[in-house]
Structure 1
Amino acid sequence: MQQTTNTILMIRPINFRMNEQTAVNNYFQEDLDLKNAEINAKAQVEFDTFVDKLKEVGVNVIVENDDILMDTPDSIFPNNWVSFHENGNVGLYPMFAENRRKERRDEVFIRLEKEGFIINNIIDYTSAEDEGVFLEGTGSLLLDRFNSKAYCALSPRADEDLFIEFCEDFEYTPIVFTAYQTVEGKRKAIYHTNVMMCLAETFAIICLDCIDDKKERRNVLKHLKEDGKEVITISEDQVNNFAGNMLQVRGKNDKRYLIMSQAAYDSLTEAQIDTIEKHCEILSSSLETIETCGGGSARCMMAEVFLPKKN
C-alpha cells in the first residue's frame, strides 16, 4: 500500500463563507467583517493559486466545481465526506453539519470514472447521521495506509464505535485518543484529528501537548516510533496556525512534497523546517481567507485519490 498519491481531488468554491453550522465546535473559525461575495471571491483566488502551485510541481489535480444551487459553504473541504482507496473502495461519511451533507455528490464519482479511475464499491456510513453519530472522513481519520493503522482523536465529529467499524471494514488497526485545545481558558476537544497531526511516509508531525492523557500520548508515540517515523513535535500555538494540517503528496518523477499553508510554514521554526526538508520538499500557499472563515487549511482541501486506474 502506498502512503502518498500523485492525484488529488479538489472542489472549487462557489458559496464559500463562514459556516454557522460548523462554528459551534470548530474553534478555528473566525468571522471576517466582509460581505459573503467578497469572502468567496478571495477564497477562489487563494484556491486557484494553490491549484496552480500543485500542478506546477506535477501533482495531478482534478478540480470539480461546487454546485451553486446547493449552498454548501464548506464544499472546499471534500476530504471530510469521502475517501478513496487502492482496492477501488470508496468511504462515504456522516457529517455533523446538516448543510455539509449536501456536499456528497454523485457528479464527483462520475468525474473520477471519466478520468479513468475504477470505483468498485461504496461503503456508506451516512445513515449514522440519523442517530446523531459522525465520522468526518480523513479529517477524523488519519490513515497510515502503509502500516494499516488509523489514528483518530475523538470529538463530537468522530465517534469511537463508528471509527472501530471503519477499521474493521477497511482493515486498519485503530489508535484512539482525545486531543484538546484551549478555548477561553477551557480544554475542549479538537474537532478534527488532521489539525493536530500529519502522517507522511517517513515522519509524523504532531502536537503532543494536545493529548492530555499521558497513557494515550505514550500509545500514539509508541505506534509512530515502531513504524520508524521521525516524530516532529509542534506547539498548540503552531496548531492554531494550521501547522498540523499538512499532507505529503507526489509530484513529477515521484518527488515528495509536504503541502501546507503559508501561515503554517511561517509558524515553523528553522529546526522544524530543516527536519522536514531532510525527508521532502515543502510547498506552501497563502490560504488566509479559507483558514479564517472555514477553520480548515491545506490538508482539508485535498481528497487523496488512491483508486486503481483502467489500463
Structure 2
Amino acid sequence: MSAQAPSAVILVRAERFVPNPATAADNAFQAEAPVDQPDELTSARALAEMDLLADALRGVGVRVHVFADPDHTRPDSVFPNNWLSTHAGGSVAVYPMYASNRRHERRADVLEMLKSEYRVQTIVDYSGLEPDGIFLEGTGAMVLDHVSRVAYTARSHRADTHVLERFCTDFGYEPMAFDAVDSAGVPVYHTNVIGCVGTEVALFALEMIPDEQRREEVRERLSVNGRQVVELTEAQVREFAGNAVELCGRTPQGRRRYVMAMSERARRSLRPDQVAAIEESCEIVAVDIPTIELAGGSVRCMIAGVHLDRRPASGHELTEAVEAINEDAPATADGQDVAMAEVGA
C-alpha cells in the first residue's frame, strides 16, 4: 500500500444537497444555485455527480465505500474529509468543525465500518474543542504529506494552530503553517483548495503565500525528496485545480496504478505542460461535478482516504460479495460497494 495514495476511499451520497448558507461568509469559492432551480433539482444533479465520481474511481480499481445520507439538515455531508482522517498504523482522527450545522456530519456507522473492515488501533477525537471555538477541519484545513510527515496548513479560523500542533504531536507530523490569501487579501478558508501532495508530484499555488521567505520554505519542503512541484496560479485555484487527490488503484491485471482525481473543471484549467508533469507519475481521472462545486469544494473535498491495513476477508464474506455482484444489485449501499471491490481489486 502506498504511504501517500490510499487504495480505498469513503464517499457520502448526500440525498439533500444544497450550498450551505452557514459557510458562505468565509468560503470565497462558494456560489448560489440558480435562483429558478428548485432544491430538488439541485439535489438530483448533485447525486448524479456523486455517483459519477464513485463509478470513475471504481473504474480505475480504487475501493469505494459509499454511505447514504438522506438527512436534509446536513447540506455539506458530501465533504467527509473535513471531519475524518485515517493514518497508517491504525489511527483515526475526528475533527472539530467551524459551522454548527456541519458538526452532526460525524457518523458512528462510518467509524464502525472502519473498525470492522480495517485494523483500527485508536481513534483520537478533537471535536470536544468546538465549545471553546477551536477548529481544525481535517484534510480540508491540512494538506498532509504522509511520506515526509508534514502538515501544510493555511491559517484561518477553520485551522487553529494550537490544535494543529496537538494533532502533529499525536500523529507524528511536522506542522508547517503559513498565511495564504487571494489577490484581494481574503484569507484562504481551506488549505486543500490551493494545493495537494502526491507521491512524486505536488500541485500548489505558492504565489498565494505572501511571505516570500515562508513561500520558499514551503517550496523547498515540498520538493526535498525529489517531488516535482507544479505551481498553480490563483486563477487555476478558482477553477479547483488545487483540490485534487492522489489515489492508488489497480489495473484489470492487478497491477498498481497511481491516479490524480480532480474535477473536469480543474483539468480544463491546467496548461499542457502542467498536465504532462502530473502524468509523469499519475493518470488524471477527471469528473464533471459543477453542482457540487457550487458548495465551494471539489473532488478532493468529497474523498476521505483510507490509509489503514485491511482485515482479511473471510470465505463467507467473499461468497456474499460474489453473490451480490451476480445479482447485479445497485451499488448505493456501503456493503454492496465493498462487495464489488472485494472481487474487482
TM-score by length of 1: 0.96
2:289 matched residue in structure 1: 287
- Name the CA distance, whole Å, in 2 between partners of 1:118 and 1:10: 19
- Deviation of 1:67 (Å): 4.1
Q: State the superposition RMSD in angstroms.
A: 1.1
Matched residue, 1:268: 270
Distance (whole Å) between structure 2 residues aligned to residue 225 and residue 295 of structure 1 = 28
Q: Aligned to 2:186, what secondary structure does the other structure show?
A: strand
Q: Which residue type is aligned with residue 213 of structure 2? A: K
CA drift of 1:48 comes to 0.6
TM-score by length of 2: 0.86
Number of the residue aligned with 1:177: 178
Q: Tell me the CA shift for residue 118 of structure 1.
A: 2.3
Deviates more, 1:86-95 or 1:105-114: 105-114
Equivalent position of 2:123 in the other structure: 122
**Distance between the aligned counterparts of 1:85 and 1:217, measured in 2?**
27
Distance in 1 between residues matched to 2:217 and 2:30, nearest whole Å: 30
* Cα distance in 1 for residues equivalent to 2:200 and 2:82: 24
Amino acid in structure 2 at the alignment position of 1:285: V
Tell me which residue corresponds to 2:87.
85
Q: Distance in 2 between the 1:24 and 1:3 partners?
A: 33
Distance 1:60 1:308 in 2: 13
Pick aligned residue for 1:246 from 240, 244, 257: 244
Bigger shift: 239-248 or 201-210?
201-210
Aligned to 1:6: 7
Structure 2 residue 106 is matched with structure 1 residue 108: no
Indicate the structure (1 or 2) with the bigger Cα radius of gyration: 2
Offset at residue 174 of structure 1 (A): 1.0
Structure 2: state its 5+ residue gaps: 313-345
User: Which residue number in structure 2 is paired with residue 35 of structure 1?
Assistant: 38
Deviations 1:209-256 (A, max 9, x none): 110111110110111121221110011000000000000101112100
Identity rate, percent: 39
Q: How does 1:39-188 map to 2 (within 5 A)?
A: 39-68=42-71, 71-114=73-116, 116-182=117-183, 186-188=184-186
Q: Please state whether the residue corresponding to 1:205 is helix, strand or coil.
A: strand
Residue segments in structure 1 that go unaligned for 5+ positions in a row: none
Structure 1 Cα separation of the partners of residues 196 and 85 of structure 2: 16
* CA pair 169-113 structure 1, distance change in 2 beyond 3 A: closer
Give the SS at the match of 2:261: strand
* Structure 2 Cα separation of the partners of residues 173 and 18 of structure 1: 34
Distance 1:279 1:119 in 2: 30
Aligned residues: 305
Does 2:216 match 1:215?
no
The amino acid that maps onto 1:197 is G
Distance in 1 of aligned mates of 2:187 and 2:286: 27
